[in-house]
Amino acid sequence: MAKQGPRKKLPKEIAIINADNCTGCESCLEVCPVDCINLKEMQHGVKGNQAWCEIDIERCVGCEVCVHIPQKKTNPYELTVCPWNAIEMVPVELAAQVMAQVGGPPEYIAANWDRLVGTAQHLAELKAQA
């Protein structure tokens, strides 16, 4: 995918998926308007594969469409996208902490620390400077 230029404005909150709750059903992936959700898979010995979705937080615009389906303000019912309530909108300043805790299996987080937690930290620094 082509590298995108710096975005104009950082969102207040970004979406993070709790990998433990996610089944990799890809419902959220289909609704994201900027196509920044990806399916991940990891081999887990005799138990088989673990699949979950991951949000590229650098590209997330914080629109919440992956959390609840936009609808008329007069409709009192919230239509959530994730059947497992695995997606949370997180303030940018807390994203690194949340990502380190729930962004994937511990060994996956450790192996991808800079890309996942480092990126979240970088976003928080940008936000603090803005």
Query: Would you tell me which residues interact with ligand SF4 (CB under 6 A)?
Result: 15, 17, 22-28, 32, 34, 36-37, 53, 55, 60-66, 81-82, 84, 86-87
Can you give the length of the chain in residues? Answer: 130
116 close to 104: Cβ distance less than 8 angstroms = yes
Q: Which residue has the tokens 């997330």?
A: 60
Tell me how far apart the alpha carbons of residues 10 and 39 are, in angstroms, rounded to a whole number: 24
Write down the least CB distance from residue 11 to ligand SF4, Å: 8
Smaller CB separation from ligand SF4, 87 or 120: 87
CA dihedral (54, 91, 93, 21) positive or negative: negative
Write down the least CB distance from residue 35 to ligand SF4, Å: 8
Smaller CB separation from ligand SF4, 46 or 57: 57
Smaller CB separation from ligand SF4, 86 or 117: 86
